[in-house]
Amino acid sequence: MSSQMLRRATVSGTVLLSLLAVPAHATADSAPATTGTAALTKPDLEGVRAVLRTARQQGAPGALARIDDRDTVYRAVTGVADRKTGRTISTLDRFRIGSVTKTFSAVVLLQLVDEKKLRLDTSVNHYLPGLLPDDGITVRHVLSHRSGLYDYTNDMFARTVPGFEAVRTKVFTYRELVKRSLRHARTNRPGAAYSYSNTNFVVAGMLIEKLTGRSVQTAYQDRIFEPLKLRDTFYVHPDTKLPGRHARGYLTPDTPGAALVDATRQTTSWAQSAGSIISTAGDLNTFLSALLRGKLTSAASLDQMQRWWKVNSNTSYGLGLRRRTLSCGVSVYGHTGAVQGYYTYAFTSKDGKRSLSAAVNTSNNGTVLNTMFGTLESAFCGKRAKTLRGSTAGVERYEDIAPGVARD
C-alpha cells in the first residue's frame, strides 16, 4: 500500500455545481467488464449550473460541487448551509457522505487481501464463526451485494422521520444490526443476484475489526486518511456532531409540504462502516483519484474491485465500487451516498485524472436525486444533460436508507 497522496490541483475556476446521489436497489445478472474509454471533453459548467438550479427549485436548501480536472479545480456553490443563519454553503464545508463510506471499507479489506490476511472467496463464517446462517456467503458476496442478506433499514426507516428520530441518538453494535437482518428471509442464494443491502457492509466492518484487531476508525485513519492527507475526513461514531465547518443536513418528511427536519445531529450508528464517514468534496476527489490510480491497493486487488455485476442499463457494481456508463460512452467510477439530510455523488474517470464530488443538504427527495444524475453528464461528457426534471431513466432511486421501500 502506498502512502503517497495525489497532489491536489491548485488552479481554480468558478462553476456552479451540483450534487448528489442516486441510490440503488436492484437485482441483476453477471456482466462482463467494459472499458468506457471514450475521450473526455471539457466539463460543461453551464450544464452543471442548470442541474444545480433545478435541484434547489426541487427542495435542496444548498448544493456544492468540486471538479478536479488534472491541474484545474472548478468549485461552485448555491444556496445555504444553514437555514437558520442563512450562511452560504461552501466547498470547504464538511458533510456526511453516506454510502461512499462503503468504498473506504472495501479498500481496507482489499488491502488486507494484499497482506494475505483475507481471501475474497472464503466464507465470512471462517473469519467470524457462526455470524451468518450460510457458510456459502463469501467475502466477495458481501462486498458485491450478492450475499442475499436482507437490508435491516427497510424496517428501520419504513416511516422516514419517525424512523430517524427513533435511532437519532441510539448506539448499536454490529451484531445487533446483523440480527435485525437475520429476522428476515434472505433475498436470494449467495452469489445469485445483486441486491443492495447495508447489512453487507456492517459485516465488512466486523471483518475489518476482527482482522486488524483495531476499530474501523483506526483502520480508516491509518490506512487511508493519513496516507492521503485527508485532513477533512473523519469517522466520529458514535459522536453526534460534525467537527469544524460543515453544512447542516435537512430530512424531507414523507408527507408532502411538511417542514424539513434538521437531521444534522445524529450518531449514524445504524450505518457505521456502511455509511458514517464525514468528508469534503476535495477529500473525496483525492481519495477516488488515488484509488483508480492504484495508490491504495495492488493492481490485482483493484482489478478485483472492478469485476462488475450489472445493476441496470448503465450501472454495474464491483466490490464496494460503482461504474456508471454515460451517454458519451465514458464510464466513471465511485459511489453514491444517502444519509439523513445529505445526498452525495463522488465519481472519477478510469485514469483518475478527472473527479467530481457533489452534495446537497437534503434527503428523502427522489426528485432531487434523479435530477442530480445530470451532473455526471455535464462533468464528464461536457454537454448539457438531456433531462433535468425528475426523470428516473437510468437512475438508482435509493441507497443507504431503506432501498426496498418504494416512495414517490
Provide DSSP, 252-280.
PPSSTTPPPEE--S---TTTGGGT--EE-
Instruction: Give just the sign of the alpha carbon dihedral 51, 313, 281, 21.
Output: positive
Strands 62-69 and 331-339: unpaired
Q: Which residues of 218-237 are buried (b: 16+ CB within 10 A; e: fewer)?
A: ebbbebbbebbebebbbbeb
Half-sphere exposure at residue 143, Cβ-oriented, CA atoms within 13 angstroms: 33
Q: Residue 53, SS3?
A: helix
Cβ–Cβ under 8 Å, residues 361 and 248: yes
Closest CA to 16 of 396, 378, 335: 378
What is the H or E stretch that residue 167 is in? helix 160-167
Closest CA to 271 of 382, 114, 151: 151
H-assigned helices in 37-136:
45-57, 101-114, 124-127
Q: How far is it, in rounded angstroms, from Cα 21 to Cα 99?
A: 10
* Grid coordinates of 292: 483508480
Q: Is 79 left (phi over 0), alpha (psi -120 to 50) or beta?
A: left
Which of 2, 18, 99, 273 is the catalytic position?
99
Is 378 in the active site?
no
Q: How far is it, in rounded angstroms, from Cα 41 to Cα 79?
A: 28
* Grid coordinates of 6: 495525489
Q: Which residues are catalytic?
A: 99
